[in-house]
Homo-oligomer: A and B are copies of this chain.
Amino acid sequence: MGNTINTQHEQLGKVRSTIREIFEYGNKRRMEIGAENVFDFSLGNPSVPAPEMVKKTYMELLQTESDIELHGYTSAQGALPTRKAIAENLNSRYGTAFHADNFYMTCGAAASLRVTLGALITPGAGEEVVTFTPYFPEYKVFVESSGAKLVESISDPETFQIDFTDLSSRITPQTKAVLINSPNNPSGVVIREEGIRQLAELLQERSAIYGHTIYIMTDEPYRELVYDAETVVPFVTKYYDSTIVCYSFSKSLSMPGERIGYILVPDACDRAADIYAAVCGAGRALGYVCAPSMVQKLIARCAGEVSDVQVYKKNRDILYGALTEYGYKCVYPDGAFYLFFKALEEDAGAFCNKARDYELLLVPADSFGTPGYVRLAYCVSTEQIEKSLPAFKALADSYK
């Protein structure tokens, strides 16, 4: 067999992501001209602290629980009080009737997605997972690693809502699941209730025609990060029974490094018990023993907490207002902490390189399935936003 190793994984480990490259350029530039002069909008890292209750709860847990209880294994599905607290929190917010055994605790959103795909997909069966542009590039990695093919449906380029004419042609007998992400990384767009309704109808229809259920997987780490009173993020299980929710507390609690999230398989989901078992089995096979224990105990007490995200709203309002005024064509971001706009030349990579002349670090959105667009992460200080505006103006002017 020669001296082979797993080439696919070797390549995945060697290909530097665009965002990582920008990050390292930023580090170099910060050394050269000072951090305060580099306007780095490349990283989607929460910039607000965790809710105060988080530190308080950690301290209490450390002072009151025994080490063995606090740091011991939980069951593979997760600690019961944690799953109960999450069920109760969702039920109180959405009028649902979930119970602890609908939930499987995970090491964050990536694990939620990868384990769910591992439960649904049969490698070698030629199955497809449809998602919408723009989308988080790791979707492709997770879908392919579980043995399916990622199929892109091109969203409406004006609103980045679902284009049902396009979607209709992407759903085929091979479609196992449709993966949505709302509020969206990288566009910040929330899929409207009407869109979710129409999606549910289409999938019901096609499931009936093809004789098998097409599942919705909904990736929701940004659910709580919406900024306008009128923006509602529909809770998808209420519109379509066979919906599996993949959640992470990374953004709502500003603790992305702690790797804590869940998979929700509602009772109404087709083959719910089998899928829940397959989730447990996929978790086992992928080397997940349980989600980290102390943070599970924290979630049991903090399931309803959300970081103060007003600074994100403020940043969004300043940036969206200014960039629109300067002539950038921006998609209005309902939530998350990203602003998405059309590059001022066809090649977004070239545009982002030019932006560097103004010390603006932006991410070309080619790997998100939307060439010609740019992602800007505004989870930075408002001061940085304000200081960067003249640079954005000068960059726009340079194209006039």
> Footprint of B on A, CB under 8 Å?
1-14, 45-47, 49-50, 54-55, 58-59, 62, 66-68, 70-74, 107-108, 110-115, 118-122, 125-127, 138, 141-142, 144-145, 173-174, 176, 211-213, 253-259, 270-271, 274-282, 284-296
Query: Do A10 and B281 touch (CB < 8 A)?
Result: yes
Cβ-closest 3 pairs across A and B: A257-B293, A114-B287, A12-B281
Query: Do A13 and B284 touch (CB < 8 A)?
Result: yes
Query: Do B288 and A111 touch (CB < 8 A)?
Result: yes
- Give the distance in Å from the alpha carbon of A110 to the alpha carbon of B76 in the complex: 13
Residue pairs across A and B with Cβ atoms less than 8 A apart, 15 shown, are A3-B270, A5-B278, A9-B282, A12-B282, A12-B284, A14-B277, A50-B67, A54-B67, A55-B62, A71-B253, A73-B256, A73-B257, A107-B292, A110-B287, A111-B289
Point out the residue from B253, B258, B271, B280 that lies within 8 Å of A292, measured CB to CB: B258
- Give the distance in Å from the alpha carbon of A202 to the alpha carbon of B100 in the complex: 52
A278: chain B residues within 8 A (beta carbon) = 5-6, 9-10, 13
Query: Do B286 and A13 touch (CB < 8 A)?
Result: no
- Give the distance in Å from the alpha carbon of A291 to the alpha carbon of B13 in the complex: 16
Main secondary structure of the interface of A (DSSP, over half): helix
CB-CB nearest in chain B for A120: B5
A47: chain B residues within 8 A (beta carbon) = 68
A287: chain B residues within 8 A (beta carbon) = 107, 110-115, 142, 286
A115: chain B residues within 8 A (beta carbon) = 287
- Give the distance in Å from the alpha carbon of A53 to the alpha carbon of B201 in the complex: 57
Point out the residue from B9, B144, B173, B274 that lies within 8 Å of A119, measured CB to CB: B9
Query: Do B122 and A7 touch (CB < 8 A)?
Result: yes
A68: chain B residues within 8 A (beta carbon) = 45-47, 49, 254
8 extra A-B contacts, CB within 8 A, seeds A3-B212, A71-B253: A3-B271, A5-B122, A10-B277, A73-B256, A107-B288, A107-B289, A115-B287, A292-B292
- Most B C-beta atoms less than 10 A away, residue of A2, A211, A280, A287: A287
A13: chain B residues within 8 A (beta carbon) = 276-282, 284
A142: chain B residues within 8 A (beta carbon) = 285, 287
For residue A378, give the distance in angstroms from its CB to the closest CB of chain B: 15
Query: Do B118 and A6 touch (CB < 8 A)?
Result: yes
- Give the distance in Å from the alpha carbon of A295 to the alpha carbon of B118 in the complex: 27
